[in-house]
Structures are given as C-alpha cells and as structure tokens.
Structure 1
Amino acid sequence: MTLKQYIIGTALLATALCSTRCTDDLLDTVPNDRLAQSFFWKTENDAKFAVNAAYPYLDDPNRIFRRDAYSDIGHVNEFFSVNALVEQNLDASSSVVAEEWTFAYNGIAAANFVLDNIDKIPVTDANTAALAQYKSEARVLRAYQYIKLVGLFGDVPLVKKNISIEEARQLTRTPSNEIWDFVDAELHEAVDGLKDTYPAADKGRMTKGAALALAARANLYAGRMEKAIAAAQAVMDLHVYDIYPEYGKLFSYGAENNIEVIIDRQYLKDVLSNQVFAIMAPYSVNNTTSPSPNMYVPTKALADMYTMNDGIPITDAASGFDPYNPYTNRDPRLTFSLFVPGSNLPNGKIFDPRPNSGTPDAIGSTYFAPSTGYAVKKYVNIEDLNSKTNNGINIIQLRYAEVLLTYAEAKIALNQIDASVLDAINDVRRRNDVNLPALEAGLTQDELTDIVRRERTIELAFEGHRLFDIRRWRIAGDVVPGNVYGITYDDGGTLKTIEVPSFTKQFDPSRNYLWPIPQNERVLNPNLSKNDGW
C-alpha cells in the first residue's frame, strides 16, 4: 500500500457517501460518518480500501522507541512521563498498558472487518487473484498484532471475527500456545495469496516474505526453534532480500524501500507524516518542547555492548579500549545508531552533552537535554531539520537482518551449529560500512549464544525488539534493575560517568515478565483473568 492510494481510497469512500446521500430520497437519510453495508463490498476496490485501513495499525515511531526504553538499553527522558512503567512500578491502570492493548485490538478489528466481508464481493476471473491477495494481507496484519499481544500480555482473547459488545463481554483469555498455533497457520496459509514483490505503486504491501518473516519471529518468540528455522530459511530461499550495504544510511530517505526492508510503515510528508525527528533528535537541533525532544534516550548499557572494530568486547583487557577516547575504533554501528559526544548534528554543529559544555544538550541544564548524554540517530535526517513534526520517513518494522539473526539464534539454541549459522551472523556483521571480522568455526554453543544476543541488541537497537528479547531469554531480572547510567567523560583529567538522578529501574521476576491485563478491560469483562502477581 502506498500512502497516495490510502488517501485516494479515503477520498473515494467520501465520494461514495456523497453520491448515496444525493440520490436517495431526502427522507431516507444515510449516516454521514460511515458507509452502509448495502453500498459497500461490491467491488475489488472496496476490498482494497478496507485492507488499506488496517495498515495504519503497524507501529508508529513512538510505540517502537518506547518499548526499548522500557528495557535496559533505553530510558524515558521526559521528566513528566511514564516513569512508573520504566521503573516497573506500573499497575493495571497504566495508560500505556491500556493503549498498547487497545491499539492492537483495533488493528485486529480492522483486519477482521476485511475477512468478515470480502467474500460478499462477486468473484470473477479478473478479480480472483486480487481478492485472494487482500484477504492474505489482512491475515498477515492480524497476525502481526497477535505476536505483540502475546509478547506483552501472554494469554489474550483470540478474536477471529468482529463481535458485538455483548459477545466481547463474554470473552476469555486464550492460552498463548493456541495463539501461536493460530498465528503460524495464518501466516503460512497467507503466503499463497501474496506476491514476492510489488511495483513501486504498491510498495509497502505485505509480501510472501513478510508473512514468512513474521512466522519466523513468532516461532522464535514462542520457543519453537525448528519452525523458526524453517520460516527464516524460506525467506532466504526467496532470494528477494539481502543486507543493505550501508548501515549508516539504512534509516535515511535515500534508502527507503531498499533490499533489506521486509515490512515498513509508509509515511508521506504533508499527507500522512510522523514526528520522529521532533521526539528523538537532540534538543540543540529541535528548538521545540512539544513534542518533547530526546523523548527516549540510549543508556550506557547499550553503548558498552558495541565491541571494538576488531570484534573484541571493550571489557576485555586485550581490546585496546581507551576510556578517554571511548568512541575510537569501535563497531561503526555505535556512531551510526547513536549520537555520542563529538557526533556531527544535522544542523552542522557538534553534539556535546557534557554537563558543563554550555550547549543546549548539556546534561542537567534542562530536562529536555538527553539525561544520559546519548541520543538516538536512527531516522533523524537532515531533510527534516526544518519540518521537525512533519516527517515522511518510512519506519521499518522488520528487515532481513532480523531474519538472519533469527535463523542463527534458533539453530544455536538447538545446538545445530554449522557453517550456515556463522554465515548468517557474518552477513549482518560484515556489511560494507561495518566490516567486523568474520566469526570462524570452533566457537561453542554458549559463546555463540552470547554473540547472537549481542548482535540482535546492537543491530536492532531502538527498533522495538529488546523488551521482547529480554523477556523470552528470561534475563530481564538480571539486566533491568539498577540505576541508569550514561556517558563517561573527561572532566579535567578525571573520568566521570553520568548517573540519572533519583531514578532506579526495578524488575520483579514473579510478575514483570508479563504486563497486567488493563483494568478497564477487566471492568468491562470480568471473565478476563489477571496475570500472576497483578
């Protein structure tokens, strides 16, 4: 789906409403805020417009970035924000918890609307393939939402059709294993109705690769490693996707719809825009406080995961890491992904967040400055410098690097370590502008587990994966609790490390591996049981 098609579709629906109102008897009025079923579901275009309406429920930048901020690698920078959720002092009345639930189920309802009605359209030789495609797109979009819901809440109601209010009040939570079964079947069955690729006018629609890549993700989250391997291998066997050679440009306008992108949410400046520059760029280039700049910032925990450019962790005494020059000779993805002290900013100035730097980014000078001294660089493009709240950059939801790392992780988990595992990881590590040394044979299962987990974290940093990963790896209780730290800087010959004041992250393993079922949902439907500990 292109945004132009979405807007045109909306306009045509409005036109259809107008023509209906203008030709009917004035006493037989039609509601002016919706299309009656008798006027819709007649043509192939009706199906197209309906499935287009499900695409806006792909995740927006705010939703993606904040999930990483709820983990160990990020922090919510806003002083007046959702810190209770970051600190894990949330409860079932949390607005963010409720919003994630509602957004996902709205996306499911939009997909169900297509699937409930598309068979009403008369089938002809000319529209058979298109109707099958739109039906498959809806199934993939619905599965996308269930993957998130189970990852966040565990057992949730499995709703396969649009239902009445009374039916909704009778819903119970479906065991997550049943939902994983449903998601896997849906995605694989959807493949036949989808295309490998689409022409430029239809970029952004769900493809065969999108369905299979989501199946790989779902089965990895479910711990079904054999299925994850098979789905990831199926994506590779399509020979449609590859690693984009320049990580440093991967999130730029010039790289939109590149060979690595499998699913993205399409935006268009002035028509259907996002505010990623305004919420993520450093304060010194934002000059705006609404929305708040530096809304989500990286932590020292993330920065320290990037190895030296020879692949050796900075904690290794043999690495050559110099704490007085901490960004020299590091994995290039560090400075491609994060603004660090000394980085060039989109306005041509130098990023200097040191507390006494005198710049707008100086830590502690205002709560709009990055509290850790780091800022996210992904999607912050010079093209948006003069239109900070009106950005048209597409937001990637799933890319080929994730598929390769899923394949490698699943094979390592089953101790099926062979050349294909190393090849998958090396493809990610050795793109042209990263070029870390290739992993070689002989590494143990434990060593490779550590490597692939680090690769997922730094390669996919602030793309919305870390919260799900530390939950399924069951390491959140080890990596989340504690104070939040930021840059280490030279203060007159003395090294000092930033510690975010009056803030300590917590994690209770007895309950925090799942969020609570939103309180409002349980008030409306007492049949929804609580998660343990809530």
Structure 2
Amino acid sequence: MKNKKLLIPALMLLLASCTDDLNQIPLSSATTATFYTQTNDFIQGANAIYNDLRGYPDRQLNLSETRSDNLYAVSEGGVRDWEGINSFHKTISANPYISDAWSANYNGIYRANVLLEQLQTNGAIVTDAVLRNRLQGEARFLRAFFYFDLVRWFGKVPLIDKPVTANEAQNISRSPVADVYALILSDLQFAAANLPDTYAAADRGRPTKWAAKAAQALVHMTRSGPTYDIEGPGLGLSEWSQALTLLNEIIASGRHSFLPSYANIFSYTNENNAEVVFDIQYATGLNPVVGSTFAWLLAPDTWFQANGKAIQGGLQIRPISNDLLRSYAATDTRKAFSIQSGYVFNGVAETQSFFKKYVDLTRVPPNRVDWPINFIVYRYTDILMLKAECILRGATGGTQAEVDAIVNQVRTRAGLTPLTNVTFAQLLEERRKEFAGEGLRWHDLVRSGQVETIINAWVAAEDVQKKMQPFQKNYIIYPIPQAELDVKPGLYTQNAGY
C-alpha cells in the first residue's frame, strides 16, 4: 500500500494533543492562520483527519463482532476488556474500547471542523475550485462517517459542527439522534455531489462519490430500523426506497464489480480491487508508524508462536460461537478461509476456533502495530446484499428475482447450491457467513429488528459457562464513557441500563 495520507506532519500533530473531547482546545487563531497559507496546507489538513480512522477496524471487531453471536468470548483466565462487551455487563462505562470509540471519533470530528472552518474563511487560497470542493467533500464525508459511528454505539451524542473551546464544549449537551442524522445526511449529500468518481493511484483510499452514496444508503437503512423504545440508531422511518435508489446508482456506475474469488478480496497482493468501494489504507515500515493492528486482533498469540512468529497482542482466543460454526455447510469455502479450527503449540492441541481472515502468515511485519493490510469498510458484495435487504423490506422498484440472483451469486462463489424465494431470515444468515469477522454482525442484528430474539436465544444455547448477563434492549447501545460524565457532572445523562 503506497498511499501515505495517514502520515501527519509534525505541526498537524498539535491537533491530536488531547484525547478527551470535552478537554480539546483547538489551535489558536494565530497558529491556524499561520499554518493555512498555501494549497498544500489544506491538503495536509485533510490528510490529518484520516488519522482517526486508523483504529476504526479495531472498534468494529471489539464492539460489533465481539458483542454479537459470532463470538463466545468469555475469558479463560482473568478478566479481559472484551469480556464485559461480549457478556453484556452493566459496569462497562470505563471500558477502554468504549472510551476509544468516543474519543477517536470526536478527535476526527474536531479535525474535520478545523479544516471546514479554514476552507470557509481562507479557502480562496485554494484557487482550484474543484480541489477546494473536493477537500470540503472529504472533510464532510469523514465528519459524517465519525458521527454515524458514534450514533450506532451511543445513540444521542453532542452535535459539534465547528471548532469549540474547552469551555464551550462543557455546555454542549447530547442532541437527539434525529438531529445528528440530519447533519450526517447533509454532509454525505454534499460529499456525493463534490467528490470524484475515482482517484489516481497516489490518492487511493480517499472517499469517492460512490463511497458517499454507500454511506448515505446505510444511514437510511439504519434509520429505518426499529426504535426498540430506546434512543438508539433506529428511528423506524422506513427509508428503504431511498437507500435502494442510492445502491442502484453505485451498481449502475460500473466502477465496482463482484470478484469471482472470495479469498482474493482480502489478498495482500490484490488491494484496491474492484470490490472495494471504500477502505482504510495502511502502510508498513514507515516513520511514524501507520500500519494496522486489526489483522491479529481476534487471533491468539500462541497461534503465531506455533507458526514461528512473534506474539502480536491477541492474547487468548476469542472463540467463535458453536452456532456460527454449525451454520456453515460442508462445501462453504468461506469457512476455511476465514476461520482457523485448531492448532498445536508446545505439544498441546488447541481445539477452539477463531478468526484468521486478515492474517497472511507469510507477511507478518516486524512490528505488531504495523500490519500493511487495508480494511474494507464498504465492499461491492455488501452493496448488492444491502440492495436485496431493501427489496425484502418493501422498497419500491425491486423484485424477488433480483434478491434471489444476488444471494445466489454470493452462494455460488462460496461453493453452495442456489436458493429460491429467498426470505429476509435467509438473507440475514447469508450475510452472517459472508461478512463473518468483518465487524458487521451486531449492526445487522440491530437494523434487522431481531437482535432481542436472536441474542436471547443464542445466549440460552451458547452460554454453557454461565458467564453472560441476560440481554436487554438497552444494551443495543453502549454507555457514555465514565470519563466524559466526570468532566462536568450533569451535562450528560448515562444511557439506560448502565
């Protein structure tokens, strides 16, 4: 991966001097004005926003995959940070995974707001109007991306659309989810209108108009999910037709296509392939380090040691649930690619299964936080399957034949026989196997309206160690981090159930 947009000049590191949103103090007006004096400074300002995408894959694996019925991640010894996530503990407001989801997203929003303010006040410095609009489109896409991540994890969040001082931040309460969505959709609509269809090789990884449309479609679908009578991501709006229109535009563009090989989608030698609608790009061997850690996150250290590699930090196994393992047909090629079923270390056989989807053992880097593999956020198969979901949920303009064709295309690639009259339940199950280990499962369950039914049944069957707490609908979202509540007591009210 050659794109180096995650590299941040020393001056821009000032933007990341604090990780607590309420304590963030923006660059002084003098410092900011001094920095933004030429076109390249605005490009660097945009590049800085991408830095807060670096941990996005980890958040999806820690908070979505681990929360879902794909993993039965109770710890084998001691208490790991993921156990409270997996087991629906009430007392997880200080969990570092949750705190990171809040702070990293708000750091990214802050950086986007700084650039947008400078484009508004000093944008004439960028004399190329197309570039100026593109930079604004990038900033607004990323701001929407960060806010969407926050809404899915926390529901109501503070709505901040410009740089603010620490004192100002301490007077900004949480906004209704509908208001946050309004900003998200406004940003994505602007991005779709002003971002290019594609980029030259040097700028791959920046969002295109098709990435903006994909994000917009998923927002409409998420808003269409049920409310569960909580202030979470679902608003029950039934915007399936709006989403379908956007997905059809991506498909009709011809910019992306369905790869015949499942493994090639994730190959280290086939990055930026036709499946990729938007991904987070990483490089390796650079200073500062801009590699990833998500590849090994769900794989145990002893597996790497058993293969002659250094420990990575995955510690113990986060075992794949028996329910997921049993769901794969014997001929399903996705299982062998995505899942490692047992190994031997120091003469002891390990029989539990875990995700190895992103690991190429021939390409383990010297530094465990410097993996080079990109993380695909939106891929073409997902676009197709989201289209099928919209049709099955009542969107106008689609047919059952289209749904069957999409699902059977996916199944044929996986070595499975075709289905007829595919139901929503069958589609959801096919998505579970297709995107296993990619961090989509929890979001799919919530959007489907079936998270309570599926998770309660799964816990009853899977929790043989009796370590999980009963699931309740309040656990669809996470608690506000305790550190945020402590900055100014009374500013935020903790989410119900925690």
TM-score tier after normalising by the smaller chain length: 0.7 to 0.9
Establish whether residue 300 from structure 1 lines up as the match of residue 296 from structure 2. no
Residue 438 of structure 1 corresponds to: 418
CA RMSD of aligned residues (A): 3.0
- The residue correspondences of 1:139-154 to structure 2 (distance < 5 A) are 139-154=140-155
* Normalised TM-score (structure 2): 0.83
- More deviation in 118-127 or 253-262? 118-127
SS in 1 for 2:471: coil
SS in 2 for 1:340: strand
Establish whether residue 455 from structure 1 lines up as the match of residue 424 from structure 2. no
* Separation in 2, partners of 1:5, 1:85: 32
Counterpart residue type for residue 439 of structure 2:
G
* Separation in 1, partners of 2:349, 2:177: 44
* Separation in 2, partners of 1:81, 1:124: 50
- The residue correspondences of 1:101-180 to structure 2 (distance < 5 A) are 101-123=102-124, 126-180=127-181
Counterpart residue type for residue 119 of structure 1:
Q
Residue 331 of structure 2 corresponds to: 330
Would you tell me which structure has more helix in proportion to its own residues? Answer: 2
SS in 2 for 1:506: coil
Shift of 1:472: 2.6
Shift of 1:388: 6.4
* Separation in 2, partners of 1:297, 1:468: 20
Q: Stretches of 4+ moved more than 6 A in 1?
A: 11-14, 32-35, 482-486
User: Structure 2 regions of 5+ residues with no counterpart?
Assistant: 14-26, 225-238
Shift of 1:248: 1.7
Shift of 1:2: 5.5
Shift of 1:221: 1.0
Counterpart residue type for residue 362 of structure 2:
E
* Separation in 1, partners of 2:133, 2:492: 34
Establish whether residue 524 from structure 1 lines up as the match of residue 487 from structure 2. yes
Structure index of larger Rg: 1
| Cα distance, 1:361–1:211 mapped onto 2, change above 3 Å | farther
| Cα distance, 1:114–1:386 mapped onto 2, change above 3 Å | closer
Residue 382 of structure 1 corresponds to: 361
- The residue correspondences of 1:221-260 to structure 2 (distance < 5 A) are 221-223=222-224, 224-260=239-275
Of residues 391, 401, 407, the one that matches 2:381 is 401
CA contact (8 A) 1:68 1:467 kept: yes
* Normalised TM-score (structure 1): 0.78
| Cα distance, 1:507–1:159 mapped onto 2, change above 3 Å | farther
Shift of 1:104: 1.3
Of residues 411, 416, 426, the one that matches 1:429 is 411
Identity among equivalent positions (%) equals 26
Shift of 1:6: 4.3
* Separation in 2, partners of 1:46, 1:506: 51
SS in 2 for 1:10: coil
Establish whether residue 73 from structure 1 lines up as the match of residue 36 from structure 2. no
SS in 1 for 2:277: strand
| Cα distance, 1:424–1:179 mapped onto 2, change above 3 Å | farther
* Separation in 1, partners of 2:48, 2:497: 37
SS in 1 for 2:60: helix
Of residues 297, 312, 316, the one that matches 1:279 is 297
Residue 9 of structure 2 corresponds to: 10
Count of matched residue positions in the alignment of Structure 1 and Structure 2: 454
CA contact (8 A) 1:279 1:294 kept: no
Residue 48 of structure 1 corresponds to: 43
- The residue correspondences of 1:299-378 to structure 2 (distance < 5 A) are 299-306=321-328, 308=329, 329-341=330-342, 351=343, 359-363=347-351, 373-378=352-357
| Cα distance, 1:154–1:261 mapped onto 2, change above 3 Å | same
Counterpart residue type for residue 384 of structure 1:
R
